[in-house]
Structure 1
């Protein structure tokens, strides 16, 4: 664990994209996809203003945490919740998620979903610890890639 002061949690902007992509590339259990590119992230942030956050260390460059949120007008979605391994167990993920959920509720969103990779058991433990439920027997998720890029 890092002994530096608690990082600042700030609204995410498109200027954070290079640090966001770098963090995704180095964080275990996270996959950087072509859909996480600059243009797609810019559209996401513009469509969901004030709902995503990053954690910046008091000393140094880059980001050490991220939580992105958006909604479709009915349901909210958390995406790319991650904290650098050196900054875990400080409450950063919980604090960023709380900010996302507060912003979604203020936008009138009363239910939020999230996805994790099936083999990311550390993430599963984290979400269970925060009170999230993964027992949805009535739902089957389907996906379809609309381009010739399996990493979309």
Structure 2
């Protein structure tokens, strides 16, 4: 297995992986090739892929705003789960953030994502109960569709 920094050349394989993940939410604009390319240009060293035999089996979009890092779309192909790939990618992304002087990392996991929430608890991330998460949608055309697979 190889863990490495994601590039835009990985988009087709990464997007194909996303489409296999049950319950995965894909945004029409943010998760398009153009949206991912914009994200990677802003955060060129922090997103991650895991490869086995030249096939991408895991990915994380990871970026920061200069103060706090954030993980998006953390996933591992179902056939390759429970082999430490997810944790290895998270460690790789966090090390990249540390090199950029980022001291805290957050993520959002949907409450119905039992597999994801179990993963984050297993690798000792802290679920916060002391805050509410708010958002304001600036572009109504950026629609989220959830995979039914």
> Which residue of 46, 57, 79 maps to 1:86?
79
Q: Give the superposition deviation at 1:149.
A: 4.2
Unmatched 5+ residue regions in structure 2?
none
Which structure has the highest strand share of the two? 2
Alignment partner, residue 32 of structure 1: 26
Which position in structure 2 is the counterpart of 1:10? 4
The residue aligned with 1:57 is 52
TM-score by length of 2: 0.89
Higher relative contact order (CA 8 A, sep 6+): 2
Match of 2:13 among 12, 19, 40: 19
Contact kept? 1:55, 1:66, Cα under 8 Å: yes
Q: Quote the RMSD (CA, aligned, Å).
A: 1.6
Q: Aligned-pair distance for 1:44? A: 0.6
Please state whether the residue corresponding to 1:82 is helix, strand or coil.
Answer: strand
Counterpart of 2:95 in 1: which secondary structure? helix
- Normalization by structure 1: what TM-score? 0.87
List runs of 5+ in structure 1 lacking aligned partners.
1-6
> 1:98-138 deviations in whole A, cap 9, x for unaligned?
00001101101101110112210111011011111112323
SS class of match (2:44) = coil
